[in-house]
Amino acid sequence: MKTKLGVINVTYPMPTVIVGATVNGKPNFITIAHTGILNHGKPQYVSIGMAKPHYTNQGIRENKTFSLNIPSEDLVVETDYVGLHSGHKHDKSALFKLFYGQLETAPMITECLVNAECRFHDVYDLPTHDIFIGEIVETYADESILAEGSIDIAKLKPLLFDMASRKYWALGGPIAQCWSVGKELKRSGGKT
């Protein structure tokens, strides 16, 4: 038996990111969980959905750049704070050590173990939200979380956000190998 829940988004939990942008000449950050992977390969595009009144939107539109900073579990307090306060009234950049890549207006957070520097590509204008689409120009990762040249998410320990419980969650362990575990069912013709 299924229960109707109404119009709700059931794709949570989502990875939590801290979006960085330069606004009025100063670095600013906002916590966002509405991110999307738009494709694989090169160029690589991502999306971020942000309510129109957010201060950071102005900086993305102004400079045509932004960053995605992936906080680990140990940054939960700072991540939540960044989402609670507007950069219009608070200098949230003071919480972090910052660095910049080739796009000089996309501030990145050193304490976040993974960072993506993005060039603005387009914006999808919804009545209440801006969906910014960015092209990843470069990705940076702390060496401590790399395994054979790739990001080890178990070492990264990313924060997950769930709207229903209004809580941050931690990642569990792997349960199966992608593009492999289904081969058993494929061999049996779809019969279990």
Measured CA to CA in angstroms, residue 124 lies from 20, 38, 48, 69 at distances of 19, 13, 10, 22
The pLDDT value recorded for residue 19 is: 98
Contact assessment for residue 76 and residue 31, using Cβ atoms and an 8 Å cutoff: no
The count of other CB atoms within 10 Å of the CB of residue 36 is: 13
Among 65-74, 109-118, 173-182, the range scoring the smallest mean pLDDT is: 173-182
- Separation of alpha carbons 93 and 87, rounded Å: 9
CATH class of 14-187: mainly beta
Structure tokens at 169: 């969650």
Domain boundaries of the chain, sorted by first residue: 14-187
pLDDT band, residue 104 (cuts 50/70/90): very high
Mean pLDDT of the chain: 94
- Amino acid 171: pLDDT: 92
Give me the phi and psi of 75, to 5 degrees please: -105, 20
Cα 70 from chain centre: 6
pLDDT reported for residue 192: 65
Q: What is the pLDDT of residue 100?
A: 98
Interval 129-165: pLDDT, tens: 999 999 999 999 999 999 999 999 999 999 999 998 9
CA distance 110 to 115: 8
- Amino acid identity, position 127: P
